[in-house]
């Protein structure tokens, strides 16, 4: 699955308020609840899954990118939310640099291959410097979604 498969413009937060990875995870999960992708009563359990994964090793992969993720039986399809922080989020990233782009995604429990492929596709895309720069420079969520869609279409 690609970013374009997972995201719609409503699932993008163009200006994250978070200052650290835990706040970013909470803000993105809250956004999934707000957009109806996650049920409100499942919010805490889902946050627990993502934070447990994040505790084992930061998903701040470098280059200003964080990809928190997890699998849960509380969803039935891959869902995600994308956030951008202009000032940067302390994510305890591998390169010790702040994170500006955070892509949180969830995969249904037991879909290990889909989980790995989704993570690999997102990481590969966000590893592209021009793509990251375009997302960082975009004026709003709609523009960010357009950049995501047009970049995927080029492949």
Q: Which domain holds residue 98?
A: 3-154
DSSP character string of 69-137: EEEETT-SS-EEEEEEEEEEEB---TTSPPEEEEEEEEEETT-HHHHHHHHHHHHHHHT-HHHHHHHHH
Q: Based on the structure, what is the number of domains in the chain?
A: 1
pLDDT in tens, 115-129: 999 999 999 999 999
Place of tokens 């782009």: 101
- What's the chain's average pLDDT? 93
Give the pTM: 0.94
3-state secondary structure of 104: strand
Which of 69, 115, 117, 127 is catalytic? The answer is: 69
Mean pLDDT of 90-98: 93
| Per-residue pLDDT, 80 | 96
Share of the chain above pLDDT 90, in %: 90
Domain CATH code at residue 127: 3.40.930.10
Annotation says 115 is catalytic: no
pLDDT in tens, 43-93: 999 999 999 999 998 899 999 999 999 999 999 999 999 999 999 999 999
């Amino acid at each position: 699955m690609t970013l374009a498969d997972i995201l719609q413009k409503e699932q993008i937060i163009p200006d994250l308020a978070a200052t650290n990875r835990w706040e970013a995870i909470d803000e993105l999960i809250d956004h999934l609840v707000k957009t109806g992708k996650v049920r409100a009563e499942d919010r805490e359990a889902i946050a627990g899954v993502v934070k447990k994964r994040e505790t084992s090793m930061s998903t701040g992969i470098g280059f200003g990118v964080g990809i928190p993720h997890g699998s849960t039986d509380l969803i039935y399809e891959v869902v995600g939310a994308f956030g951008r922080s202009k000032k940067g989020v302390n994510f305890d990233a591998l390169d010790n640099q702040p994170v500006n782009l955070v892509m949180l995604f969830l995969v249904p429990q037991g879909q290990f291959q889909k989980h790995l492929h989704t993570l690999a596709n997102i990481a590969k895309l966000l590893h592209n410097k021009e793509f990251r720069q375009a997302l960082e420079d975009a004026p709003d969520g709609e523009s960010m979604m357009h950049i995501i869609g047009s970049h995927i279409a080029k492949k």
